[in-house]
Amino acid sequence: MGRVVYVVSDLHLGPGTLPDGSLDPLEDFTADADFARFLAQVGSGDDPVELVIAGDLLEVPQTLPAVGLAAPADHLGSTEQESLQRVRVIMGQSPQISSGHPEVFAALRRFMMGGNSVTIIAGNHDIDLLWGEVWAAVFDAIYPPGAAGDLRLYEFCYHVGEGPQGRVYIEHGQEHDKANRFGDRMCMPFALDERGVRRLKRCWGTLFVEKVYNELERDHWFIDNVKPISKIVSLGLRNDFRFTATALGMIATFLLTSGPPPIFGGGADVLGAAAGVTPPTAEGVASALADVALRAQIEAQLSDPAFRTEFEQAIQHVGPVALDGAAALFSLDAASSAGVVLGGFAADAEDAYRQAARAVLECDLTVGTVIMGHTHDPIDGYACPIDLPDGRTGYYFNSGTWTRHLKEQGRAYSWDEVADLANYTTSNTFIKLEPQADGSYRATLINWGQR
């Protein structure tokens, strides 16, 4: 029989704490001690086990945010040295900047010292791992020389099991998200900028994080912890009018001036206001937005002088090219992944992820279970099995996240409550894969917080 395998995803390790001891507002992971205890428990048995991290181990776009803003084109991100600098911060090797997460990397190293293996799949937030020097640095931090287990990196997907049936297919899942896909199964992650410098490709969702979310979270750390984003906008208009007017202006500017990535026909040029061009009117910007709900929210507030002042200040970089019919490819919800609401251990309708899982199950008769991450929504595949045309039954699981989210998803929180860390929790979900006598694997979704 094979070994037991544990699957986690979406830890999003970021910059950690600042030198003054306060949590960096761009940091979403606060479960360092919990994750270390988790590894110690699952890795301390008599038989070696394997840990699979199914994408977004690292939160690179929210670490050293100035790096992302300095990239010369929307569809390109960090150079190899810039990615290495950001990842070293996350690993805790630049304490003069912030703490990072040395406890997590030390725990992974101890886990491997026990003879266990670690497999990492690159996600859309840590595609930087595909740089040779970045992976070498991470490898050195985790792998104890001479360890009996393996430390491996996969660019897109990974299989567990070698039997004729019941194998498990694992991927991160970003390729089924229009705003976060790269279109090439992560096999061609680099491109040259106009100066011939090799850089990471940058998907539209990462561009949104680096141009919008990073700036907004400096003042309100919880902005990307609450879904959908329209909830935050509505609360903000009632409780922090000035901030929300600026935020809406930044979002409108982004939607109108950030070109689509090459996979959707975009190029390297960044649209924007040319020097000496008359600034756009608030009405002109609002009417140019393709997102109907966002346009309505803005137009409803423009009669308020205070809102108009803040909004117009934030849209100075929208030029006439953007207003002349540059249709936004994605809505605000798509850009911010706001269509996914955290919580609930069940599968819903046949969304893009479940459709992709079905396709894998139909194409590979040896696979019985598909696991993804990315959405942060833990899904127990046995709650909603997938019936296949040949009579087989397959299962789609989602491993969830170890980042913070509101405790009660159906509850109407106030603005002050949304900003209160006491109202947040971490589900810390993972999937345990246990080998069966017939060579298959049985998956179990477990909440580490409710063990």
Q: How far is 53 from 65, CA to CA, in rounded Å?
A: 24
pLDDT averaged over the chain?
88
Instruction: Check residues 258 and 114 and name the one with the higher pLDDT.
Output: 114
Predicted local confidence at residue 326, as pLDDT: 46
Give residue 279's pLDDT: 67
Angle formed at CA 284 by CA 326 and CA 228, multiple of 5 degrees = 70
The pLDDT score that the predictor gives to residue 411 is 79
Of how many residues is the chain composed? 451
pLDDT surpasses 60 at 339: no
Percent of residues, the chain, with pLDDT higher than 70:
87
Q: Any idea which of 45-49, 85-89, 193-197, 313-317 has the lowest mean pLDDT?
A: 313-317
Q: Which residue has the higher pLDDT, 225 or 22?
A: 22
Give the lowest-confidence range in 30-34, 73-77, 230-234, 335-339: 335-339
Q: What is the pLDDT of residues 67-126, one digit of tens each?
A: 999 999 989 999 999 999 999 999 999 999 999 999 999 999 999 999 999 999 999 999
Query: Which pLDDT tens digit goes with each residue over 408-437?
Result: 767 788 888 888 988 888 889 999 999 998
For residue 327, is pLDDT > 50? no
pLDDT at 266 over 70: no
Please, are residues 62 and 113 in contact by the beta-carbon 8 Å criterion?
no
In this prediction, residue 341 carries a pLDDT of: 38
> Does residue 340 register a pLDDT over 60?
no
* Residues 5-190+343-450, CATH architecture: 4-Layer Sandwich (3.60)
On the question of pLDDT at 259 being above 70, the answer is: no
CATH 3.60.21 intervals, the chain: 5-190+343-450
Give the range among 13-22, 25-34, 293-302, 338-347 with minimum mean pLDDT: 338-347
